[in-house]
Chains A and B, each alone.
Chain A
Amino acid sequence: MNMFASSHRNQPWVWQVTGLCFVLGLLLAGSLQTVRNISRSGIGTSRIGVPQTGVPVRTETVQKLEKEIKDLREHNTELENALGTGKGQLKTLNDELQKVKILAGLTEVKGPGISLLLADSKKRPPAMRSFEVTIGIVHDVDLQRVVYELLASGAEAIAVNNQRVVARSAIRCVGPTIQVNGVPLAPPYTIHAIGDPGALYGGMNLPFGVLDEMRRYDPAMVKLEKKELLVLPAFGGSTETKFAQVTTDLGSAAGEAQRR
């Protein structure tokens, strides 16, 4: 037992270990306090958990705020209508305003149209060739082409997964989701369009049209229906403009732009 020969009487190492144990105690207390702090504030301790616990709270807030925007805009319309129920100029002005709001997508609208469901294909690509892997997936480009084709077919209002497409809407791919109006949407994508159902249906079914490629790959990706009545939500995003200003005097503004 030579290995354990050191005497237990005179142990300088015990003091050093004690010193480090003190530090260890400090660290333990620090860890404990930190974790307690974090759990008290409602953020998860695990790295993966952080966004997962944070998101529902924010989603709730966002939904509440969106509801508030919607309510306020409806209230606004009501007030405008109340103002415009009189006669003459006010009424004319208000009618004009309501038309513009429909055009801008700031009011809820209803009417006949089509409903189009685009889902990712369950079929696996035949070979793992990289350019084929992306075929069975609905991309932002597909949504863009569908929306433009609908507009070309005379759609008066379009919504993707209840996100109203307006003049300033962007449809783009962010990771596994597609964002419309900056709101991430997950597949399947339901596109509602109000317009002449026949014309919209025809536009979607054009030979070599927007849905052709998807249908050829997997017919289950596309489901197109005519609808008697659709209700499309109002645009819920910001309508503020930071840069664009209205030019009151057309002639002088053009001259100014030319001078610059």
Chain B
Amino acid sequence: MMGWLPFAGIVAGFTCGMVVLSFLQVPPELATSYAPYLSLATLAGLDTVFGGIRAGIEGRFQDDIFVSGFVLNTLLAAGLAFLGDKIGVDLFLAAVVALGTRVFLNLSLIRRYYLTKMALGRRKDATTLSS
């Protein structure tokens, strides 16, 4: 079972980022301008990770779709945010809503898979005990 690996990845990335960014002193004026883009990228990453896990447990995982999905979703979200900034409409909300919905959907499918598996395991246990 290698289910802990993604979590280890998140923790490792997080520590790495914290260490590196604590050395890089970004001026706050700059930070305010790119903060929405960074949070959108985070959301796109979250969406891709959940999408990948779901595809993996459904046995439909394809690495090219996975990677290109992450890159293109991030670019599109950032592009929307940029365009929204230019024309004065908060277009980044569209990306937030769309990606957020997908994260929840994928999470529910993953949960369902593991719940089904647990139920099947319990039934198997029951049959082995009774026989």
The size class of the interface chain B forms with chain A is: 35 or more
Please determine whether A17 and B6 come into contact, CB atoms closer than 8 angstroms. Answer: yes
* Secondary structure type dominating chain B contacts: helix
A140–B105 Cα gap in the complex (Å)?
55
Min CB gap B86→A, angstroms: 14
Interface of A is mostly: helix
- Given A4-B58, A20-B45, A20-B70: A34 in contact with B31 (beta carbons within 8 A): yes
Quick check: A6 and B57 within 8 Å, CB to CB? yes
Query: What residue in chain B is nearest A17 (Cβ atoms)?
Result: B52
Interchain CA distance A63-B69 in the complex, whole Å: 53
**With the chains together, A35 CA to B53 CA distance in Å?**
29
- Interface residue? B100 (CB, 8 A): no
Q: Which one of B5, B21, B26, B117 contacts A15 once the chains associate, using CB atoms below 8 Å?
A: B5
- CB contacts (< 8 Å) of B55 on chain A: these are 13
Contact B63 A16 (CB under 8 A): yes
Choose among A15, A18, A23 the residue that contacts B45 (Cβ–Cβ < 8 A): A23
| A18 touches which of B5, B28, B113 (Cβ 8 Å) | B5
Cα of A3 to Cα of B112 in the assembled complex, Å: 12
**A residues contacting the other copy or chain, number (CB 8 A):** 39
Interface residues of A in 1-34 (CB under 8 A from B): 1, 3-6, 8, 11-34
Interface residues of B (CB under 8 A from A): 1-3, 5-18, 21-22, 26, 28-29, 31-32, 34-36, 38-39, 41-42, 45-46, 48-49, 52-53, 55-59, 61, 63, 66-67, 70, 90, 113, 116-117, 120
8 A-B residue pairings within 8 Å (CB atoms): A1-B116, A4-B58, A4-B116, A16-B66, A17-B6, A31-B42, A33-B17, A38-B35
In order of increasing CB-CB distance, the 5 nearest A-B pairs are A25-B13, A29-B17, A21-B9, A6-B59, A41-B28
